[in-house]
């Protein structure tokens, strides 16, 4: 989870406050947040939060953090615009302070300088933080895009100047540390889109991330150039388009945008739909169109569907399935797999990572952003260009790295768990709930209800109720199980009659063995005893 | 699911009887089988099953099929060896009839000719079936490997000869229809392995599929050449090694194999471990080694771990996690992502697909093997080389294709669902069970138990029991819920007192709204009423 703390004895500076999307075994979980115990314990030292850019994995934890900690939040205009929209959903007011590339902000003992970088969202920043121990450079998410859509190049001169002045530590983006070469420019997408748009005999549907404003700009520009009209679909796509236009990050060409219902009245060869759902999410517009369950839109034979986004690991099956359905409807489907030019990454590949290291020549190097293997590969790359291993720190969440001109070392840990969000609950789903949900998911459940009177005599049941075990519930099987439970109850001695825990334990044990033997399944078995 | 039926009025010939592994939303399911209602209905016409090769997605349905249908099974020696091992687990005897490339087998009106093809398992076959309507050619899984490990090239001369004689319909492998070029030879792996083995300072662990006998051969050969010893780990790896050695598909170099406990006593630089677990399956040896939970083996700093297998879509997260843990232990981890030479596919890429079409020049073309999008891409490729669309049939499971020299058309459907296997149950898990399991997985459950006497008066409860909702169960919340249920019970009129369905319905509705409002969760709510 993307959140870095810089600390002196006096002050704490927070860089980013991201969230994570749940891993596949986090059943029923909506979001994952970083634990902030350490921040709350030392709340009086926290001087502020600085955002490198507006992606949710860097800002999505903010609403939760700001509910517990009142501190100013610094970020570029677009980052704050997107954050503000989110805070409104939470009914939160915050002290948001816009910064621009070149700005310097004093926060306690820290002096933060904002440096322009290019990325897959406009207005992204690297942060050069002057600390009592020396300069710490945080790359944010970046790439060295040679031809960014808005013309805003990563400020390589300033990075080099910092290298000359002396960088104590570089923290740098590792997301693509396994990719050789350099990441292509975002502007390479436009010509590919234009080719696809020109070849398309009918309606065009483009799915991309709602935050990819430069991608959206290119879709709008190409459509405008070819005399096509664009309708926007999806809540976040609509919101981001509005915010980015208001803040002038997006230049909507005249007479290009129309409403979805207007688009439906156009000849199909004139219409472009810009939509979310690039990950094949089952409830997204595009997945619903693919199976003919979208209220307003239908995909018809000859339509072109472009997935202009990366596949987030774990979504291969849902995207694949959506593509299958679209093909069945006779659509022409374009994905990165068959048309690599349809998407480029916003993160630096190995050549760019080497360039960042070469420009800034840090004394210490800390790979950040990515899973452990990406950090490892990034560290390996630094070693290949002669960075001594003792100056490289591959950290895990919570590690405390002490850096000073005389040396660096991991000196301890702060609490750094994952806080799971399920509905309105933050942190009330832990190991037990997840284990129970997994058990229920794998095997369903069998409930055994028994009524005892005060003497311990059975006056009702045992009744068995099952869900998620067999289809339909296997009456004969459960009648056998009932008989086994009756035997258990018969075998209970007089002294044990009120020991409900023991009775439940025996029922569970007998039933577990019985179901394992008969159907080889392991439903959750839940004896419920009530006293009448 | 890989199973093709060829039918005349008199006879049915079955080609392959595969299984599928469950998709991610098939909670708790072990395997997926093709529905065989049609075969059972017409059992007296079924002349036999012919296997193209020994992979489970082509043979794994056999034990289930043979339990219901007694027919001879034809296949190469290795295919039948692997099948026999499986049938033994099911305590099944079957009429297995080995065939070799060049063999011709008469099955009713069909004359089946076996043609050698190279694939990622030895002894794979394409099948040329002479039918009353003309020749139908089934490619099996194949590639045109220019330098297969066992020297057994795909029999391109025979394919070309069939092309000259006239092929009515070609059914051809579409798995890699999205990949340009030609798939590299399996023999390209050896040199890469040798380089990795030479560079490895300590123990080497290679994970691959247990059926990839040629890959295993290369690991053994390289180890032998470098004076290293190999221990085998994993049930299927051990079994397949035994079967393939017995049938002489694998030539184990002398003094190369040792037992795992012997290997542990060797200096680490002399040991190689060949193991399953290439998909990061949580219970596999390699995943357990990665987190230090394997009883006999530890991964230590400096060990080399090679994942010599493709990533099956859906396993990205589990493999990634295993790799993270291995890096944390200081291992050197090699995967296809960072070292493409460490794995090659067993399926044909686009150049090879074009070659197959060019050699056989079929009148009708039916892409098979792969999801719908792969079939679509394969059909597109055929169109690009001037195959008229009306001669290409992209079929879905169950479609009946009628082909005869005068023309081809889809003329109907046979029942073709998916039969889910969970433990010992085959087909007793359907939509309802899966929906319930999903519901339980996402939200857990709340049980409400109430005891009524014969007059409809509440004599016990309402008691609430929850699992998988909050951690720990939220006492205050459930007390509020109990009060709401008491209100529901109070509001039940005298006439309604014995209408348990109505009472349950009201409880579910009230509780659902309450939990949605308070915690925004949707557990399964299960009112259980017992009469005392």
Instruction: Summarize pLDDT for A432-474 with one digit per residue, the tens.
Output: 999 999 999 999 999 999 988 888 788 888 999 999 999 888 8
pLDDT at A454: 81
A424 → closest Cβ in B28, B325, B520 = B520
Beta-carbon separation of B317 and A313 below 8 A:
yes
Task: For residue B380, give the chain A residue with the closest CA.
Answer: A332
Residue, of B371 and B461, whose pLDDT is higher? B371
pLDDT at B453: 84
pLDDT at residue A494 greater than cutoff 80: no
Mean pLDDT of B155-181: 97
A304 with A398, same domain: the answer is no
To test the contact with chain A by mutation, choose from B437, B518, B531 the residue with the greatest count of A C-beta atoms within 10 A, namely: B437
pLDDT at B214: 97
B364 with B278, same domain: the answer is no
Beta-carbon separation of A440 and B333 below 8 A:
no
Beta-carbon separation of B518 and A327 below 8 A:
no
Q: How many CB atoms sit inside 10 A of residue A396's CB?
A: 12
Among B322, B342, B362, residue at a domain's last position: B342
Beta-carbon separation of B423 and A314 below 8 A:
no
| Lowest model confidence (mean pLDDT) among B132-141, B155-164, B477-486 | B477-486
Report the percentage of chain A scoring pLDDT > 70: 100
Kindly list the residues from chain B whose CB atom is less than 8 angstroms away from the CB atom of residue A470.
Answer: 425, 428-429, 433
Instruction: Summarize pLDDT for A229-243 with one digit per residue, the tens.
Output: 999 998 999 999 999
A360 with A507, same domain: the answer is no
Residue, of A176 and B490, whose pLDDT is higher? A176
To test the contact with chain B by mutation, choose from A458, A530, A532 the residue with the greatest count of B C-beta atoms within 10 A, namely: A530
pLDDT at residue A124 greater than cutoff 90: yes
Residue, of B316 and B144, whose pLDDT is higher? B144
B360, B163 contact by CB (below 8 A): yes
pLDDT at B337: 86
φ and ψ of B48, to 5 deg: 165, 170
pLDDT at residue B398 greater than cutoff 80: yes
pLDDT at residue B250 greater than cutoff 90: yes
A38 with A72, same domain: the answer is yes
Q: Which two tokens stand for residue A283?
A: 């409830």
Kindly list the residues from chain B whose CB atom is less than 8 angstroms away from the CB atom of residue A519.
Answer: 422-425
pTM of the model: 0.92
Q: Name the residues of A annotated as catalytic.
A: 173, 347
pLDDT at residue A12 greater than cutoff 80: yes
Instruction: Summarize pLDDT for A472-489 with one digit per residue, the tens.
Output: 888 899 999 999 999 988
B209 with B323, same domain: the answer is yes
Q: What is the ipTM of this complex?
A: 0.90
B334 with B350, same domain: the answer is no
A35 with A129, same domain: the answer is yes
Beta-carbon separation of A467 and B460 below 8 A:
no
A39, A12 contact by CB (below 8 A): yes
Instruction: Summarize pLDDT for A284-304 with one digit per residue, the tens.
Output: 889 999 999 988 888 999 999
Strand pairing of B458-467 and B445-452? antiparallel
To test the contact with chain A by mutation, choose from B332, B333, B471, B515 the residue with the greatest count of A C-beta atoms within 10 A, namely: B471
pLDDT at B498: 75
The 3-state secondary structure of A458-514, one letter per residue: EEEEEEEEEECCCCCCCHHHHHHHHHHHHHHHHCCCCHHHHCHHHHHHHHHHHHHHH
Provide the CB-side half-sphere exposure for A376 (13 A, CA): 17
pLDDT at A317: 87
Q: Catalytic: B369? A: no
B146 with B80, same domain: the answer is yes
Instruction: Summarize pLDDT for B306-340 with one digit per residue, the tens.
Output: 999 998 888 888 999 999 999 999 999 999 988 98
| Lowest model confidence (mean pLDDT) among A266-275, A493-502, B139-148 | A493-502
Mean pLDDT of A46-67: 97
For residue A446, what is the domain's CATH number? 3.10.20.580
A268, A203 contact by CB (below 8 A): yes
Among B297, B319, B342, residue at a domain's last position: B342
pLDDT at residue B82 greater than cutoff 80: yes
Domain count, chain A: 3
Among A322, A338, A354, residue at a domain's last position: A338
Domain that holds residue A441: 430-531
For residue A234, what is the domain's CATH number? 3.40.50.10710
Question: What is the three-class DSSP state of B482?
Answer: helix
pLDDT at residue B342 greater than cutoff 80: yes
Report the percentage of chain B scoring pLDDT > 70: 100
Q: What span, in angstroms and rounded, lies between the C-alpha atoms of B185 and B118? A: 10
Average pLDDT, chain A: 94
Question: What is the three-class DSSP state of A138?
Answer: strand
A25 with A148, same domain: the answer is yes
B437 → closest Cβ in A178, A432, A444 = A444
pLDDT at residue B10 greater than cutoff 80: yes
B419 with B453, same domain: the answer is no
pLDDT at residue A362 greater than cutoff 90: yes
B14 with B91, same domain: the answer is yes
In a domain, B293, yes or no: yes
Beta-carbon separation of A526 and B465 below 8 A:
yes
pLDDT at residue A505 greater than cutoff 80: yes
Mean pLDDT of A314-329: 92
């Amino acid at each position: 989870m993307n959140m870095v703390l810089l600390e002196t004895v006096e002050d704490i500076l927070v860089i980013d406050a991201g969230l994570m999307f749940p891993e596949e075994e986090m059943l029923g979980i909506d979001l994952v947040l970083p634990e902030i115990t350490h921040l709350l314990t030392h709340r009086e030292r926290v001087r502020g939060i600085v955002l490198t850019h507006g992606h949710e994995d860097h800002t999505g934890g903010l609403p939760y953090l700001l509910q517990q900690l009142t501190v100013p939040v610094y970020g570029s205009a677009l980052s704050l615009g997107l954050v503000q929209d989110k805070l409104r959903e939470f009914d939160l007011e915050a002290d948001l302070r816009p910064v621009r590339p070149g700005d310097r902000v004093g926060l306690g003992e820290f002096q933060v300088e904002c440096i322009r970088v290019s990325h897959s969202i406009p207005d992204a920043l690297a942060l050069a933080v002057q600390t009592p121990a020396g300069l710490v450079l945080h790359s944010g998410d970046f790439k060295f895009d040679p031809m960014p859509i808005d013309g805003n190049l990563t400020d390589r001169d300033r990075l080099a100047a910092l290298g000359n002045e002396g960088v104590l530590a570089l923290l740098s983006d590792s997301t693509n540390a396994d990719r050789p070469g350099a990441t292509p420019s975002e502007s390479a997408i436009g010509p590919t889109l234009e080719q696809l748009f020109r070849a398309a005999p009918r309606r065009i549907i483009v799915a991309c991330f709602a935050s990819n404003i430069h991608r959206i700009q290119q879709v709008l520009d190409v459509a405008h150039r070819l005399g096509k009209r664009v309708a926007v679909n999806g809540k976040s796509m609509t919101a981001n388009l509005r915010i980015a236009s208001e803040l002038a990050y997006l230049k909507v060409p005249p007479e290009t945008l129309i409403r979805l219902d207007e688009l439906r009245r156009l000849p199909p060869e004139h219409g472009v739909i810009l939509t979310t759902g690039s990950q094949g999410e089952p409830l997204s517009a595009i997945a619903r169109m693919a199976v003919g369950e979208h209220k307003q839109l239908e995909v018809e034979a000859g339509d072109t569907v472009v997935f202009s986004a990366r596949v987030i690991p774990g979504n291969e099956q849902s995207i694949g399935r959506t593509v299958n359905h679209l093909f069945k409807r006779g659509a022409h489907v374009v994905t990165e797999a068959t048309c690599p030019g349809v998407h480029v990454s916003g993160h630096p590949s190995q050549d760019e990572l080497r360039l960042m290291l070469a420009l800034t020549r840090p004394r210490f190097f800390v790979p950040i952003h990515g899973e452990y293997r990406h950090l490892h590969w990034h560290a390996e790359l630094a070693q290949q260009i002669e960075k001594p291993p003792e100056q490289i720190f591959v950290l895990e969440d919570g590690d405390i790295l002490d850096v000073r001109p005389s040396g660096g070392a991991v000196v301890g840990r702060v609490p750094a768990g994952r806080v799971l969000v399920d509905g309105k609950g933050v942190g009330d789903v832990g190991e037990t709930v997840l284990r129970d949900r997994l058990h229920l998911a794998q095997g369903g459940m069998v409930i055994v209800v028994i009524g005892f009177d005060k003497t311990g005599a059975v006056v009702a049941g045992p009744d068995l109720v099952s869900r998620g075990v067999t289809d339909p519930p296997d009456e004969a099987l459960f009648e056998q199980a009932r008989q086994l439970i009756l035997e258990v109850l018969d075998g209970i001695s007089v002294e044990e009659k009120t020991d409900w825990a023991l009775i439940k334990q025996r029922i569970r044990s007998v039933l577990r063995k019985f179901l394992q033997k008969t159907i080889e399944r392991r439903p959750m078995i839940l004896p419920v005893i009530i006293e009448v």
